[in-house]
């Protein structure tokens, strides 16, 4: 029996992109965007095309956009608006912040990453390590697709400067034990650094409750524009020397780590995204609806479809990596697209450490559920997958 807590038909009417009848199961690579977000971006470009400090109306408008976006990000993340940092996208922002964090680290200091991570939260540390002669080690993943916390504890040392990990895997959907990992990092004297890009689309975030030092995410995964957003704990940000142009303002605290003119139109779109999510009751009820669809999908997978990673909805978000036996992943994706179902095929999904142990050759198909999907779409996708099984 359905326990739906949102009016999905009303939700879908807010998306022009959903009116064609094509079923988008590609939200893990970037979600669809409601019309009101696009309208807010266009309005900012036409009514607030200026810069901060201008002594006339457009100057005031961009100041209001930036202030509202900081407040909205703070509510979304559960932090102070002073602890919010905006950037071009998660990866660019992560490169900048990791470089800043490691300014004073020394040869032989250690970074602990994981084999569950997207490379956007690995490559910045590898490049920093190459420049500073640091050591990078990786926490293993269990055969069930979970992060191995025993291995994490074993690899922590007094030279570990940061424990960097994903809140949820962008490839197989695994949710990590973020609070426990942050506690282990803190007890070892290390920073905790979370990639929440994939998690933020499906689960509420509360950085204070999690106890992390840094968290990065991006609204394009939760029906917003391409933008990077970071939380940095105030005590941590205050201890860093930023890379910045010298005349740029130092307050609020997070602004120290933002370079150049902010993308005001995208910030306006971000605030419209948060208003959209708020109008639906926030991520809490959306999470329950998505999990309902997720269980429907997992329970209905046909024989002959191989699912990688966690085999139930326990401890995961509704993102699935799979293959149809006897058919190349690229053929599956192309065939499904012709039938009106959008999924992708790829080899490593930018999770290079995870890819090595998943056990498939060449590529796999990724399908993801988000709150604008319907039970009818899920059933249709399952039927199409079943029809592809030899």
- Spatial separation of the C-alpha atoms in residues 84 and 224, rounded to whole Å: 17
Which of 119-133, 288-302, 349-363 comes out lowest in average pLDDT?
A: 349-363
Please check the confidence at residue 245 and state whether its pLDDT lies above 90.
Answer: no
Alpha-carbon dihedral sign for residues 222, 224, 226, 228: negative
Distances (CA, A) of 291 to 196, 302, 315: 18, 19, 11
- Spatial separation of the C-alpha atoms in residues 177 and 163, rounded to whole Å: 13
Q: Write down the pTM of the prediction.
A: 0.96
Please report how many Cα atoms fall inside a 13 Å half-sphere around the Cα of residue 371, on the Cβ side.
31
Please check the confidence at residue 1 and state whether its pLDDT lies above 70.
Answer: no
Burial class (CB in 10 A: 0-12, 13-18, 19+), 29: middle
In terms of Cα–Cα distance, which of 23, 25, 24, 18 is closest to 366? 25
pLDDT computed for residue 3 by the predictor: 57
Check residues 126 and 59 and name the one with the higher pLDDT.
126
pLDDT computed for residue 50 by the predictor: 85
Which of 45-59, 68-82, 105-119, 202-216 comes out lowest in average pLDDT?
A: 45-59
**Domain residue extents for the chain:** 8-25+283-388, 38-278
- Spatial separation of the C-alpha atoms in residues 327 and 341, rounded to whole Å: 17
Please check the confidence at residue 11 and state whether its pLDDT lies above 70.
Answer: yes
In terms of Cα–Cα distance, which of 105, 293, 96 is closest to 214? 96
Pairing of strands 110-114, 135-139: parallel
Report residue 346's pLDDT band, with 50, 70 and 90 as the boundaries. very high
For residue range 287-318, list pLDDT tens digits in order.
999 999 999 999 999 999 999 999 999 999 99
* Cβ neighbour number for residue 103 with a 10 Å cutoff: 12
Please check the confidence at residue 75 and state whether its pLDDT lies above 90.
Answer: yes
Extract the tokens encoding 377.
């779409």
- Tokens 């064609």 belong to which residue? 20
Q: Could you please state the CATH topology (level 3) that the domain comprising 38-278 is classified under.
A: 3.40.640
Mean pLDDT calculated for residue range 75-99: 97
For residue range 175-186, list pLDDT tens digits in order.
999 999 999 999
Which of 22-36, 41-55, 121-135, 293-307 comes out lowest in average pLDDT?
A: 41-55
Q: b vs e for 207-244, b when ≥16 Cβ sit within 10 Å of the residue's Cβ?
A: beebbbbbbbbbbbbbbbbebbbbbbbeebbeebebeb
Report residue 66's pLDDT band, with 50, 70 and 90 as the boundaries. very high
Report residue 4's pLDDT band, with 50, 70 and 90 as the boundaries. low
- Tell me the pLDDT of the chain averaged across its residues: 96
Q: Could you please state the CATH topology (level 3) that the domain comprising 8-25+283-388 is classified under.
A: 3.90.1150
């Amino acid at each position: 029996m359905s326990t739906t807590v949102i009016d999905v038909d009303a939700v879908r009417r807010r998306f022009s992109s959903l009116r064609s009848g094509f079923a988008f199961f590609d939200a893990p690579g970037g979600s669809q965007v409601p019309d009101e977000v696009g309208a807010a971006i266009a309005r900012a470009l036409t009514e607030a095309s200026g810069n901060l400090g201008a002594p006339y109306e457009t100057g005031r408008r961009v100041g209001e956009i930036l202030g509202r976006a900081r407040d909205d990000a703070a509510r979304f993340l559960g932090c102070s608006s002073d602890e919010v940092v905006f950037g071009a996208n998660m990866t660019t922002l992560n490169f900048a912040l990791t470089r800043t964090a490691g300014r004073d680290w020394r040869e032989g200091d250690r970074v602990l990453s994981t084999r569950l991570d997207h490379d956007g939260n690995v490559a910045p540390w590898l490049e920093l390590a190459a420049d500073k002669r640091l050591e990078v080690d990786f926490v293993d993943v269990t055969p069930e697709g979970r992060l191995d916390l025993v291995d994490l504890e074993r690899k922590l040392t007094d030279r570990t400067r940061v424990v960097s990990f994903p809140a949820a895997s962008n490839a197989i959907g695994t949710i990590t034990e973020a609070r426990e990992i942050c506690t282990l990092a803190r007890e070892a004297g290390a920073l905790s650094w979370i990639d929440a890009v994939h998690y933020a689309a499906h689960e509420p975030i509360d950085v204070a409750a999690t106890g992390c030092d840094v968290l990065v995410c991006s609204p394009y995964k939760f029906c917003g524009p391409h933008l990077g957003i970071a939380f940095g704990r105030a005590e941590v940000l205050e201890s860093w020397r930023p890379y910045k142009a010298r005349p740029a303002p130092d307050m609020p605290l997070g602004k120290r780590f933002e370079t150049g003119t902010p993308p005001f139109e995208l910030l306006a779109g971000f605030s419209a995204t948060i208003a959209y999510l708020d109008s639906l009751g926030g991520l809490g009820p959306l999470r329950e609806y998505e999990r309902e669809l997720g269980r429907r999908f997992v329970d209905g997978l046909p024989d002959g479809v191989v699912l990688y990673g966690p085999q139930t909805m326990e401890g995961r978000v509704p993102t699935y990596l799979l293959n149809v036996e006897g058919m190349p992943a690229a053929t599956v994706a192309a065939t499904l697209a012709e039938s009106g179902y959008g999924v992708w095929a790829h080899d490593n999904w930018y999770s290079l450490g995870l890819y090595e142990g998943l056990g498939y050759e060449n590529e796999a198909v990724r399908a993801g559920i988000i709150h604008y999907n319907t039970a009818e779409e899920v059933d249709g996708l399952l039927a199409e997958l079943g029809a592809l099984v030899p």
